[in-house]
Amino acid sequence: MSNVEWLTARPIAHRGLHDLNRTRWENTLSAFQAAVDAGHSIECDVHLSSDGVPMVFHDHALRRLTGQDGTIAAKTAAELGALKVGETDDHVPTLQEMLRLVGGRAALVIELKASEGHDAALVERVAEALKSYSGRVALMSFEHRLVRQLAELAPDLPRGLTAEGRSAASMEAHFSMLAHEISFVSYAVSDLPNPFVSFVRERLSMPVITWTVRDREAVTRTFAYADQMTYEGFSP
């Protein structure tokens, strides 16, 4: 497993340092630059375009963030790059654009978004994009099959499980992923504490980050039961 001590060193700006999509929108180059300027780490989301290019975007559908109909998987990288996010000058960026902007100045935590029927090459394409990147970066996903692919296709990169829930079924599913040599866990702050997070921190000395911290109560909960926060909507 990879050394990820750096993962918990600084607060992690959720989808970059945006202002809740008022003037600086999530997962844009402006939000990533703001996080760099603040000295914080960056969390972002990646899907594949229809022509197999990793794009930094959270939703499957385009409507909330671009005002356009359709899905990210149905458009080419060029078509997506021509779309404005909100009514700003920011466009939907490729992963490569984001990597060039950050250039190792901030640690990156990249979540791979599952998209049934459209993500078969996602791990491979993201791994390719990161081969020449020298900055600190970790990959994670909710989707267990993508985490398993990370172990095969990007074995040298830190990989994590994004997770939530407190039920027995959730705990069983999460514990099963320890067989795939994950390096860290990103857990829903509202579902702390729980036996899985306690086990990985106390027995495995594995770092745990939380999502998504939006108030002081969640900050307190994070540092009672985890190691660092993924935050938005306030200044840590």
Q: What are phi and psi of 67, to 5 degrees?
A: 75, 5
Output the six-digit token pair for 89: 């000058």
Q: Which of 14, 18, 40, 174 is catalytic?
A: 14
Considering only CA atoms, give the Rg of the chain. Answer: 17
Residue partners of 9: CB distance under 8 A and separation at least 6: 41, 107, 228
Beta carbons of 211 and 188 less than 8 angstroms apart: yes
Distance CA 164, CA 158 (A): 20
Question: Residue 144 catalytic?
Answer: no
Question: Residue 60 catalytic?
Answer: no
Distance CA 199, CA 78 (A): 45
Q: Which of 18, 40, 47, 58 is catalytic?
A: 58
Q: Which residues are catalytic?
A: 14, 58
